[in-house]
């Protein structure tokens, strides 16, 4: 048994020469891994379901649990899923449901849940197995067929039977597909209340959004804009390079805006704004955030706040500031592993904390419903349009007050 444990230690890369490891005494590795092997063999010997106790299945599920215990963004990628991702034919993310699918030997599962969306609203948990879709067993379906069954127009309902690891029984959930904003920058205009104040709503930091932002700012400035409201509410993040380019529109060239700090405080190279700036934009800026503003939204608002370039107004943001890498492993598997945390110019990280606004404005449930109606104002039913017409956005009102002369 100790020989098996020693072999496992070597395969895991445990070595006295390693310095970048947790502060466990080296000798604790052997009893810990030996305990794992003992449990593994006891399960294989005694569990009545023989088809469930192969070495591959047991070890892969153990690795799944290990990765899931670290943080919400680290995960073990099974061979079934790794193969599909390597082909690049299928994107497992379902934005209309706010979930990402995965495949493992036991069938499909919820690999991730967006910070906002029907999945989060229904309380779906990452790593939950998907047993049925609309009462049809889907445990043997390939990924493309799963995606097809869960790709539907807004307003339609998908019924899932799911089983989380800590629940004794499966549960049924109904998920209503939502409208997905495909544009990174769906809205930019001068506000009616103040013709010199511009409004830009950035829905996500998608590819090319920095050029879209620059073009929108050029247009508003040509119309006489003297101050800006940048709305990042409900923006879950996106491309980090685009984020840095957008910050370069408002900050001096070659300004350090993002750093990463990994194991043992190892600091990565700072990301800086572009070394050239076509237009100087030194007008007042207010950035709007809410509890679903995450990742790139937090880096943007945090950097502008740290450097005294903008005032942040709204709710405490979500608190996602970690860096993940995909690491190929043996047997066709892979790891999605958190390796560092992002930090704003002052050295703080939004991870697990969020960005605290300069002016905190509580947002009620009615405010959230109406803001969602506002985001989709071009496709509202008459009763929804009437409801929106009665609403006054408290965060926008605070922003205009902050920008008033």
Active site residues: 295, 306, 320
Rounded-to-integer distance, Cα 290 and Cα 374, Å: 15
Cβ-contact 197, 188 below 8 angstroms: no
DSSP string spanning 233-280? TT---B-HHHHHHHHTTTS-TT-EEEEEEEGGGPBPPPEE--S--SS-
Q: How far is CA 46 from CA 39, 115, 167, in A?
A: 10, 41, 23
Contacts of residue 279, Cβ cutoff 8 Å, sequence gap at least 6: 217, 218, 221
Rounded-to-integer distance, Cα 325 and Cα 261, Å: 14
DSSP string spanning 186-222? -EEEE-SS-TTEEEEE---B-TTHHHHHHHHHHHHHH
Ranges assigned E (strand) in 134-181: 136-137, 157-163, 171-176
Rounded-to-integer distance, Cα 205 and Cα 246, Å: 9
């Amino acid at each position: 048994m100790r020989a098996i444990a020693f072999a496992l230690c070597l395969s895991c890369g445990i070595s006295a020469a390693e310095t970048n490891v947790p502060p466990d005494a080296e000798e604790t590795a052997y009893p810990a891994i030996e305990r794992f092997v003992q449990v593994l063999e006891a399960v294989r010997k005694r569990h009545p379901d023989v088809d469930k106790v192969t070495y591959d299945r047991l070890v892969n599920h153990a690795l799944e649990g290990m990765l899931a215990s670290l943080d919400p963004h680290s995960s073990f990628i099974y061979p079934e899923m790794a193969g599909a991702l390597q082909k690049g034919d299928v994107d497992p993310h379902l934005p209309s449901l706010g979930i990402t699918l995965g495949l493992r030997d036991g069938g499909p599962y919820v690999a991730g849940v967006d910070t906002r969306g029907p999945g989060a609203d229904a309380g779906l948990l990452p790593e939950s197995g998907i047993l049925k879709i609309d009462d049809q067993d889907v445990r043997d379906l390939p990924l493309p067929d799963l995606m097809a069954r869960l790709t539907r127009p807004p307003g339609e309902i998908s019924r899932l039977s799911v089983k989380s690891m800590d629940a004794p029984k499966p549960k049924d959930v109904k998920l209503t597909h939502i409208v997905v904003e495909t544009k990174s920058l769906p809205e930019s205009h001068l506000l009616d209340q103040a013709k010199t104040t511009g409004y830009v709503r950035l829905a996500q930091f998608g590819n090319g959004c920095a050029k879209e932002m620059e073009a929108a700012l050029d247009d508003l400035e040509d119309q006489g804009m003297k101050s800006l409201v940048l709305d990042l509410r409900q923006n879950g993040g996106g491309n980090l390079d685009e984020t840095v380019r957008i910050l370069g529109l408002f900050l001096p060239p070659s300004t350090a805006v993002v750093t990463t700090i990994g194991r043992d405080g190892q600091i990565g190279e700072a990301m800086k704004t572009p070394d050239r700036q076509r237009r100087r934009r030194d007008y007042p800026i207010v950035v709007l955030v809410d509890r679903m503003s995450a990742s790139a939204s937090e880096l943007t608002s945090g950097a502008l706040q740290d450097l005294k370039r903008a005032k942040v107004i709204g709710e405490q943001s979500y608190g996602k500031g970690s860096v993940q890498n995909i690491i190929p492993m043996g047997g066709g598997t892979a790891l999605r592993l958190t390796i560092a945390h992002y930090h704003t110019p002052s050295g703080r990280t939004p991870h697990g904390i969020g960005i605290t606004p300069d002016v905190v404005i509580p947002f009620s449930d009615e405010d959230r419903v109406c803001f969602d109606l506002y985001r989709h104002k071009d496709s509202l039913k008459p009763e929804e349009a009437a409801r929106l017409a009665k609403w006054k956005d408290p965060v926008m009102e605070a922003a205009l007050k902050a920008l008033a002369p």
